[in-house]
Amino acid sequence: YYAKMSTPSPAQVLRLYKNLLRYGKNLQYTDKEYFCNRIRKEFRNNKTCTQPEELIFNFKKGKTLLEFGRVI
């Protein structure tokens, strides 16, 4: 599915960020504030990431969370 993915664009990363925060606001059995703070922290920590492999890995991780509701 994500086999040979190119490095995500800044717009794709921003869209993922917004979608993850939106997803966090709709959680029922998890602390919403903790989830959203964790998302913000992860994006902040990876803001300076320049390695394509790392960018792709983190992007896939976020997409997987949105798609399946958890990180596999």
Sorted by where each begins, the domain ranges of the chain are 10-68
At 72 the pLDDT is 52
At 57 the pLDDT is 94
At 71 the pLDDT is 58
pLDDT in tens, the chain (72 residues): 445 678 999 999 999 999 999 999 998 888 899 999 999 999 999 999 989 999 999 999 999 999 988 755
At 3 the pLDDT is 56
3-state secondary structure 19-60: HHHHHHHCCCCCCHHHHHHHHHHHHHHCCCCCCHHHHHHHHH
